Structure 1
Amino acid sequence: MQTTLGGVVTLSGTGVHTGRPARVTLKPADADSGIRFRRVDLSNGTRSTVVKVEHCNVKTMQLCTVIGNADGVTVMTVEHILAALAGMGVDNVYVHINGPEVPILDGSARDYVEAIDRVGLVTQSVPRSFIRILHPVRLQIGESIAEFQPHHRQVISTDIEFTHRDIGNQSITFEVGGETFREQIAGARTFGFLAQAEQLRAAGYGLGASLENTIVLGDDGVINDNGLRFTDEFVRHKALDACGDLALAGAPILGRFWSHRGGHQLNHAALNCLMSQERAWEWVGGDNLQTDTIAFDKTPAEVPEFAYAT
C-alpha cells in the first residue's frame, strides 16, 4: 500500500551550489499525489510554483539533479531528499521550499531519514504501483555503463573507478528500502577534490560547500578532521545519488540497476532509455510480490552480457 508522512517536518541549511540559506518543509499528501515540490518563495501569478517528481521534468544533471515545470520554475539538488524518500518507502509528500535549492545539510541523506523517522509513516488505502523490468536495457556512454536487469526486488549495484589513491575501485550492491538504506547508505556524504574547488566556484558551483557538508580530497588524502564514516563512503554516496535519481521514474522500480563509472547524467540518460522502451517494462501492483530480501554486498555485481544497446 502507498504511504505518506505521519506529520510535518522542517529542515534548514545551505544550498551547496548557490550558497544561499535554504529551508524545506515536508508535509503529508493524499494517495496518488506522488512527490511534489512547491517554491513558496514565488508568487503564483499566472505560473505554477509546483514541480512534480517525474523523469520528464529533469532540466539538467550537471553536478546535481535539477527539476522544473513548464513555467520555468526549478528546484536544484533534489537527489538526496529523493533518495531518503525512496529509501524509506514514502510515496506521497509535499515538499515546500523557500528558494531554488534543497539544503545540503551534512552532505548525505541522514538528516532527512531521521526527520522521516521522527514523524513516522502512515499507510494509505491505495495500492502502490511498481515499474517492473521485463527485459535488460543497457546504455553506454564512453567508459560509463548503466543497465537495468529483471529482478524481483529493488536493487542498486554501483561500481566506481577513480585514480585518487583514497578511492580507487569500489563496488556496492544494496536493496532500496528499510534498514539497509538507513544504516548503510543514507549517511554517505558527497565528495569533491580540492584541486577542482576553485574552478567549480568560478563556474558558479559549490558556493556553499564546506568541510561540514563535503568530503574533500587533497593530494595527500581526505582533509576532513573526522575522516570517513565508511571506508568505502565514496561508492556508497554514488549509490545514494542513483537511488535519488531513479526516484524520478515516479514509482519504485522492481529490477536491478547497475552502473559503472556513473553519475547523475548517466543515471538520467539510462532512466530515459528505459522509459522509451515500453516493451522492456510494465506497471504492476504490489500484491503478491516476493518478500525475500537480498544481502548487503560490497563485491562487484555479476552483470550479464545481454543488452539492448542504444
Structure 2
Amino acid sequence: MSKRFIGARQTTVAREIEVSGTGVHSGAPVSVVIHPAPADTGICFIVSKRGRIISQIEADVRAVRNLTLCTVIGDDRGVTVGTVEHLLSALRGLCVDNCFIEIDNKEVPIMDGSAAAFVDAIDEVGVRELATPRKFIKVLKPIRVQEGDCWGELTPHSSFHLDVEINFDSPVIGRQRMALDLSPGAFRQELCRARTFGFMRDVEMLWKSGLALGASLENTVAIGEDRVMNPEGLRYPQEFVRHKMLDAVGDLALAGAPLLASYRSVRGGHRLNATVLKSLFADADAWTVVHAPMVREAPHVAGYDASLGMAAVQFAANRN
C-alpha cells in the first residue's frame, strides 16, 4: 500500500467519454467527447468544426464572455462555448482535475437539465489518479460582492462549503436555502439530479430573443402560476435551490482548481458567481495556491468522497 494521503493526487477520467444531446438555447444537436489529460492541464474545451479544431478554450473565469441565463466562455477570436456549468459541475463535483472536452457546436448539450448524465458517464469509465499532487485555491480572507439585494461571499474554510439561498416571487418556489460540504458522495446524492427551471410566462420572450429553443419538459422544470407543469413533478424537496447550488459548483470551477472556501450566495446566479470569483483573483492578498503533501495515509479509507476535505487539512501554502 502506498504511504500517502488519500485524495492527494490530481485526477483525470480513466478513458474517453462520449455524450450527445441538444443545446437548450440553440436547439441544435451537439456531440461531446471528454478525453483524459495529463496533470496540470486543467479543464480545456476543444472546439471543432467539420472535424477541424478551431479553438482551445480553458475553463477559466478570465475566459467568460456572457452570463445571460447560462455561462459562456470563449477566446479572443470570438469562438465561444455556452452552457458549460452543468458539465463543469459534474467534473468538479467528482473531483476530476484534468481533461480535454472536445465539442462540435457552440453549446454543451442540456441532457435532462441536470448534471446526472455527465455524472453517470464519468462513473461508468472511472476516475484515474495521476502522480502529481493536487493543487487548491485557498481563500485567505472574506471577499464579498453585493448587487442590490443579491450578494455572494467567499470566506476561508478547510474544505469547500456551499450555502445558497434563493427567493422568488412565486408560490411554487418562494424562499429556499440549503448548505452542504461538497464531496463526490454529497454531489451525487444531493445535487447532481436537480434540473434547470424556468417560468412559463417567460417562454415567448425567450423564443423571440433566440433563446431556449431546445427547452422542453424533458430538460426543464416548467413553472406555471401555481404549480410545476412537468407530469412527474420534482425530483427532490427544494429542487430549485439544489439546482442553483449545482450551477454554483460549475461556475466556481472556473477558478481553475478546487476552492478551499465557504461560499455563501443570496439571490444569486451565474453573473454573481463569476463576479465573486473575479473579485477574489483581483485581490492578491485574498488567495494562495496550496498543494497536497505526500504523507502517510491511514490503513484504508473507503471510497473517494473525502478527497477535498481530507487533503486540505495539513497543506503548506505555496504562493504561485
TM-score by length of 2: 0.88
> Any idea what the Cα deviations from partners look like across 1:149-192, whole Å, max 9, x if unmatched?
11001111100001111111111112222110011100000000
Q: Secondary structure at the match of 1:49?
A: strand
Q: What is the distance in 2 between the residues matched to 1:71 and 1:123?
A: 35
1:139-158 matches, within 5 Å, as: 139-158=145-164
Q: What is the distance in 2 between the residues matched to 1:186 and 1:290?
A: 19
Q: What is the distance in 2 between the residues matched to 1:49 and 1:182?
A: 32
Counterpart among 212, 226, 229 of residue 223 in structure 1:
229
Show structure 1 runs of 5+ residues with no match. 294-310
Q: What is the distance in 2 between the residues matched to 1:118 and 1:80?
A: 18
> Any idea what the Cα deviations from partners look like across 1:82-131, whole Å, max 9, x if unmatched?
00000000000111111111000000000000000000011000111111
Counterpart among 28, 38, 41 of residue 46 in structure 2:
38
Q: Secondary structure at the match of 2:91?
A: helix
Q: What is the distance in 2 between the residues matched to 1:191 and 1:135?
A: 34
Partner of 2:303: none
Partner of 1:53: 59
1:30-109 matches, within 5 Å, as: 30-41=38-49, 48-109=54-115
Partner of 2:310: 291
How far did 1:23 drift?
1.1
Tell me if 1:6 matches 2:14: yes
Counterpart among 240, 247, 259 of residue 241 in structure 1:
247
Q: Cα RMSD (Å) of the superposition?
A: 1.5
How far did 1:2 drift?
0.3
1:143-182 matches, within 5 Å, as: 143-182=149-188
Q: Secondary structure at the match of 1:126?
A: strand
Tell me if 1:122 matches 2:141: no
Counterpart among 224, 231, 251 of residue 257 in structure 2:
251
Q: What is the distance in 2 between the residues matched to 1:2 and 1:207?
A: 38
Tell me if 1:137 matches 2:143: yes
> Any idea what the Cα deviations from partners look like across 1:186-240, whole Å, max 9, x if unmatched?
0000000000011011011100000000000001210000000012000000000
Runs ≥4 residues deviating over 3 A: 42-45
Q: Secondary structure at the match of 2:310?
A: coil
One-letter amino acid of the counterpart of residue 291, structure 1: M
How far did 1:243 drift?
0.3
C-alpha contact 2:21 2:111 (8 A) present in aligned 1: yes
C-alpha contact 1:39 1:50 (8 A) present in aligned 2: yes
Partner of 1:263: 269
One-letter amino acid of the counterpart of residue 265, structure 1: R
Q: What is the distance in 1 between the residues matched to 2:60 and 2:52?
A: 21
Tell me if 1:210 matches 2:216: yes
Q: Secondary structure at the match of 2:124?
A: helix
Q: 1:212 to 1:176 in 2, by over 3 A?
A: same
C-alpha contact 2:135 2:290 (8 A) present in aligned 1: yes
Show structure 2 runs of 5+ residues with no match. 1-8, 296-307, 313-320
One-letter amino acid of the counterpart of residue 108, structure 1: S
One-letter amino acid of the counterpart of residue 183, structure 1: Q
**How many residues of Structure 1 are paired with residues of Structure 2 in the alignment?**
291
How far did 1:290 drift?
5.6
Q: Secondary structure at the match of 1:138?
A: strand
Tell me if 1:20 matches 2:28: yes
Identity percentage of aligned residues: 45
One-letter amino acid of the counterpart of residue 59, structure 1: R
